[in-house]
């Protein structure tokens, strides 16, 4: 029997049974739906309830939570479950890379704790994600291969420099209410790679050479499946991973925390792919997602993370991703002369440039840095601020109308007005 079915009964006792049964079934459905909604609420977003529960736990237990959040903060996600899934993806790519990345995250987080940095920033993983990238990319660019244990000491030392750089840059960028993004990682790793190089006997790096000949590109040989595969690969390249399965796992981790971040990551990676095709980049580099990862980060940053998500800021995020793709190609050619990788310099340059835009359009609303959480919550904050502004505007107009004297008050005093109402309106 369906809940909405009309039943005609002869006896009053049967009618009372149906009256009791239908509300009870509806209440059960409502409660089960509410439990499911609450369960998803505990796992999505920032997992605030879990963070509050962790505050009273021992330091080593909290450190695990900080490492997981620092792992996911590379993609602007403050969620330990997403961080755990990302670590699983890194393990699939390379257990050694996962080890060096976790080492960098733990060292940079503990260094920030020793320097008495803001505890809320530490617990949110904001002092761990640069260390994660340092550990990963030092292992990626090491020509010694996996399990070269002598690489761990420089990973530790350079990861310790990340909180120092973050604090120093934060004191400068706070004047414009700007985030430091991955600039500490870029500075630290670029200096390390420039100091060592390919021919270093202790820590040799991958040889990077500039393009010295016209690439042989045959457009008929392009592979559409590999182009589509480059979209998740480009997301995985944020962590230096070229495995499409790893990139897909990263997208799932983003989807759990914020569907909007997952969407903009995929869109940004797609924009980077098309931009690389438009300047005839070698197909191998496109398939590896090397032109996509900076665009994915730029699209996330502008598309709802630091701007409230509207259709105007969505278009702005696409423009930022496109600008990031072309500036990334330019920086890659310039840095290859020095034998250095591009890292995430294009993303930092493009995102900071677009965050400095001044606009009188109320739909292009920059979220205060202290209020930034994740795109869905940022949009709720934006709508709340807009509603408050409209209410205060209406209250001000109402107050001015109440304080304004009526037009006939001057005529009732017997004084001749300076001008007639018609001429006053014309003036």
pLDDT at 29: 55
Closest CA to 109 of 62, 163, 187: 163
**What is the average pLDDT score of the chain?**
87
More confident residue, 261 or 213: 261
pLDDT at 415: 45
Mean pLDDT of 327-336: 95
For 8-98, strand residue ranges (E) read none
Half-sphere exposure of 50 (CA within 13 A, CB side): 23
Q: Would the pLDDT of 5 be above 50?
A: no
Q: CA-to-CA distance for 307 and 170, rounded, in angstroms?
A: 19
Q: What is the DSSP letter of 366?
A: B
Distance of CA 228 to the CA centre of its chain: 22
Phi then psi dihedrals of residue 126, to 5 deg: -75, -15
Q: Would the pLDDT of 331 be above 90?
A: yes
- How far, in Å, are 64, 102, 103, 356 from residue 68 at the CA level? 6, 9, 12, 31
- Find the helix or strand (DSSP H, E) in which 346 lies: helix 345-355
Q: CA-to-CA distance for 130 and 169, rounded, in angstroms?
A: 13
Mean pLDDT of 398-418: 58
Any idea which of 27-31, 338-342, 391-395, 422-426 has the lowest mean pLDDT?
A: 422-426
Q: CA-to-CA distance for 197 and 207, rounded, in angstroms?
A: 8
Confidence band (pLDDT; 50, 70, 90) for 336?
Answer: very high
- Write down the H helix ranges in 197-258: 224-236, 244-257
Predicted confidence (pLDDT) per residue in 156-204, tens digit? 999 999 999 999 999 999 999 999 999 999 999 999 999 998 999 999 9
State the maximum Cα–Cα separation within the chain, in Å, rounded to a whole number: 101
Confidence band (pLDDT; 50, 70, 90) for 39?
Answer: low
CB-CB contact of 112 with 125 (8 Å) = no
Burial 277-290 (b: 16+ CB within 10 A, else e): eeeebebeebbbbb
Closest CA to 321 of 371, 276, 256: 276
Mean pLDDT of 215-219: 81
More confident residue, 35 or 111: 111
Confidence band (pLDDT; 50, 70, 90) for 54?
Answer: confident
Rg of the chain in Å (alpha carbons): 28
pLDDT at 216: 78
Express as a percent the part of the chain with pLDDT over 90: 72
Any idea which of 39-48, 118-127, 264-273, 356-365 has the lowest mean pLDDT?
A: 39-48
Q: Would the pLDDT of 46 be above 90?
A: no
pLDDT at 50: 84
CB-CB contact of 261 with 254 (8 Å) = yes
For the chain, how far is it from start to end, CA to CA, in angstroms?
75
Q: Helices 345-355 and 311-337 meet at what angle, rounded to 10?
A: 140
Q: Would the pLDDT of 3 be above 60?
A: no
Q: Residue 6, by phi and psi: left (phi above 0), alpha (psi -120 to 50) or beta? A: beta
- Contact partners, residue 304, CB within 8 Å, separation at least 6: 260, 261, 264, 313, 314, 317, 375, 376, 378, 379
- How far, in Å, are 139, 156, 419 from residue 425 at the CA level? 75, 75, 10
Mean pLDDT of 31-55: 72
- Helix/strand number for the chain, H first, E second: 19, 0
């Amino acid at each position: 029997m369906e809940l909405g079915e009309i039943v005609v009964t002869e006896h009053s006792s049967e009618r009372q049974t149906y009256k009791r049964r239908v509300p009870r079934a509806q209440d059960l459905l409502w409660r089960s739906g509410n439990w499911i909604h609450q369960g998803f609420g505990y796992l999505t977003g920032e997992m605030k309830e879990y963070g509050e529960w962790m505050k009273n736990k021992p330091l080593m237990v909290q450190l695990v939570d900080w490492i997981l959040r620092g792992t996911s903060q590379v993609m602007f996600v403050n969620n330990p479950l997403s961080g755990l899934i990302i670590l699983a993806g890194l393990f699939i790519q390379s257990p050694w890379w996962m080890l060096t990345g976790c080492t960098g995250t733990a060292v940079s987080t503990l260094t920030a704790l020793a320097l008495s940095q803001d505890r809320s920033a530490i617990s949110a993983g904001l002092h761990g994600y640069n260390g994660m990238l340092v550990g990963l990319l030092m292992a990626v660019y090491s020509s010694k291969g996996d399990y070269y244990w002598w690489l761990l000491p420089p990973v530790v030392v350079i990861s310790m420099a990340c909180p120092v750089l973050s604090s120093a840059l934060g004191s400068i960028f706070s004047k414009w209410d700007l985030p430091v993004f991955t600039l500490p990682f870029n500075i630290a790793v670029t200096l390390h790679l420039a100091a060592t190089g390919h021919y270093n006997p202790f820590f040799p790096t991958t040889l990077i050479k500039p393009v010295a000949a016209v690439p042989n590109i045959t457009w008929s040989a392009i592979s559409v499946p590999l182009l589509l595969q480059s979209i998740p690969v480009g997301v995985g390249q944020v962590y230096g991973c070229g495995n499409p399965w790893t990139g897909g796992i990263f997208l799932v981790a983003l989807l759990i925390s914020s569907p909007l971040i997952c969407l903009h990551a995929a869109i940004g990676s797609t924009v980077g792919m098309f931009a690389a095709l438009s300047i005839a980049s070698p197909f191998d580099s496109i398939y590896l997602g090397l032109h996509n990862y900076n665009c994915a980060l730029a699209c996330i940053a502008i598309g709802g993370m630091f701007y409230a998500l509207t259709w105007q800021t969505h278009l702005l995020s696409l423009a930022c991703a496109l600008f990031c793709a072309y500036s990334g190609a330019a920086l890659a050619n310039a840095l290859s002369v020095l034998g250095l990788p591009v890292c995430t310099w294009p993303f930092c340059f493009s995102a900071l440039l677009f965050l400095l835009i001044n606009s009188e359009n109320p739909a292009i609303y920059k979220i205060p840095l202290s209020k930034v959480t994740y795109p869905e919550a940022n949009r709720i904050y934006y709508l709340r601020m807009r509603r408050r502004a409209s209410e205060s505007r209406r209250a001000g107009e109402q107050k001015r109308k109440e304080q304004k004297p009526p037009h006939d008050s001057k005529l009732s005093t017997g004084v001749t007005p300076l001008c007639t109402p018609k001429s006053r309106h014309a003036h």
